Amino acid sequence: MTDGISILILVLLAAVVAVALIRRKPPRPKTDKPPKPPEAQAPKPSETGDDAEEMAPPPFEPEWEREETPPEDALSWERETAAPEPELAPPMPAPMPEMAAPVDNRYWVQRLFFGTDRNVERQEETGPVFGHRRANALKLGHTDITIPREAHRLGKVERPKEITLFKVTLWKQAEDPAKHFTVHKTEILSETAFTGMAAEAAQSAATYANTAFVFIHGFNTTFAEAMFRAAQLAHDLGFDGPAFAYSWPSVGETLDYVTDMDSADNAVTFIDRFLEIVFNVPGVEKVHLVAHSMGNAALAQLLTHAGTSLSQRGRAIEQLVLAAPDLDAGEFGNIHSHFTAAAKGVTLYACASDRALLAAQKIRGDYIRLGDVGPEGPMVVPGVDSIDVSAVGTDLFSLNHNVYAQDRGVLDDLGALFLTGQRPPRLRMPTLEEIAGQRGIYWRMPR
C-alpha cells in the first residue's frame, strides 16, 4: 500500500516537470557565429591621424548577419528578449537663411534702408532702438517692417490702441504683426554692406526699375514712426525698388517744436552725406524724394547752404515732393530756385486748416507756412506744381497730418508721378481741377 502511494507521487511529480518543460521558451539555437558586438566606440586620438575620418574602416558587421534569415523561432526569441530600441530624436531644422521677408502668411515685410544721426538708446531682441538724442554721426542700416495682410487698409499705419492720461499710458493693446505694423528686425550696417544690399534691391526691381525712393520725416516723429510711415508709403505705392528713409532726432512730442527745429538744422550735414551714398548705389539711376513737414526745413538748409554735395550735383533728384512743408511761404518765394535746380520736377501738396502747421505759424509770428492753403489758394512759384488737397482732409493735426499718405487720390498721384514724371499734374491725374488763382495756376484734388 505504501509502495503504491509512493509510485503515484513520483508519477505526479514527473507529469508536473514535463508540463513545465513543454511550456518553457525554446532555447536560443546554438551557432558558431559570434555574438553581436556592442556599439563601436570612436577611436582614441592616439589611434588617429589627420586623415582618420577618411581612413576609418566601415562599421563592423558580423558574418552571421549577412547570411540567411535565422529560423522563425529564433527571431521570435530575439523579439521577446531584445531591449527596446531607443526613440530617435527628431532632426534639427536647417537654419533659415537671411531674408528680407520671413515666411509668414499673416503679414508682408517691407525692407527700408535708413540713415540717422540719432543715438542708440538701447538694444532689444529685434536690434538697436534709436532715441531722440543727437549722435552727431551718421549711422546706416536696414529695418524690416511687418505689415498685416488682413488688417491693413490703404494709407493707414495700423498700431496697437492705447489709453493715456496726461502722457501716462494706462492701457495698451498687445502688439501683433497680424494686426499691426511692427519692427521685425533692425541692423546697423557698414557703408559697403549698406550699398551692396541696396544695389541688389535696385537690380531686382521690375515696376520701378533702377529707381530709389527716399523719405524724410517731419516734426513730432520717433524713429519707429518714421519707419512705419515710409514702409506704408512704399508698400501702398507698390514700390519694388530700394526704399530709403532718413530719420533726424525728433523728440516725438508736440511741445518740443523748437528742439525739433534745432535738431533738423543740425542733421543737414548727415542728410547730405546720406543722399550722396544713395545716389552712388550701383543700379540706381533715378531718385525720388518725399520730404514731410519739418523735414522740408532741413532740406531747405541743405539746398541753400553753399558747398553741400547735393547743391553741386545739379538736378540729381528725379521727382521732389514737398508734403505739408513747414517752411515760411514768403521765404520759399525767394529760395524756390534752389529746389527746382536740384530736381527735374517739384510738387507741393498743401492743405488748409492743418493744425500742426497752424501751431507752427503761431510760434513763428503768424507767418503763413508753405504747406497751408489760404484764401488765395496755395503758394504758387515758377517750376513748382502746387496741389491743394484740402478736400480729402482738413483736420491734419495728428491723425490726418499725413493726409498726403492716407488718401487714395494722393497715393495714385504719387505713384503716377514716380512712374511717368508727367507734368503738369492733369496729364497724369485727369480728375485734378485746374484753378487760375491770384498767384497763378494750381490744381485742386476732388474729394
Highest-pLDDT range among 95-109, 161-175, 228-242: 228-242
Radius of gyration (C-alpha) of the chain in whole angstroms: 37
* pLDDT for res 168: 86
* pLDDT for res 6: 60
Give the CA distances from residue 426 to residues 146, 323, 380, in Å, rounded to whole numbers and listed in that order: 35, 18, 16
Instruction: Let me know: does 369 contact 378? Beta carbons within 8 Å.
Output: no
- pLDDT class of 255 with cuts at 50, 70, 90: confident
Residues 385 and 441: their CA atoms lie apart, in Å, by 9
Q: Indicate if the pLDDT at residue 57 is higher than 50.
A: no
Residue 146 forms beta bridges with which residues? 109, 182
Instruction: State the chain's maximal CA–CA distance in angstroms.
Output: 147
* pLDDT for res 3: 55
CA 360, 364, 369, 375 dihedral sign is positive
* pLDDT for res 14: 59
When pLDDT is averaged across residues 293-310 and rounded to a whole number, the result is 93
Q: Indicate if the pLDDT at residue 41 is higher than 80.
A: no
- Domains of the chain, start order: 185-444 (3.40.50.1820)
pLDDT in tens, 333-345: 999 999 999 999 9
- pLDDT class of 97 with cuts at 50, 70, 90: very low
* pLDDT for res 375: 87
Please name the residues in contact with 209: beta carbons below 8 A apart, sequence gap of 6 or more. Answer: 241
- What DSSP state is assigned to residue 36? P
pLDDT in tens, 146-200: 999 999 998 889 999 999 887 788 999 999 999 999 999 999 999 999 999 999 9
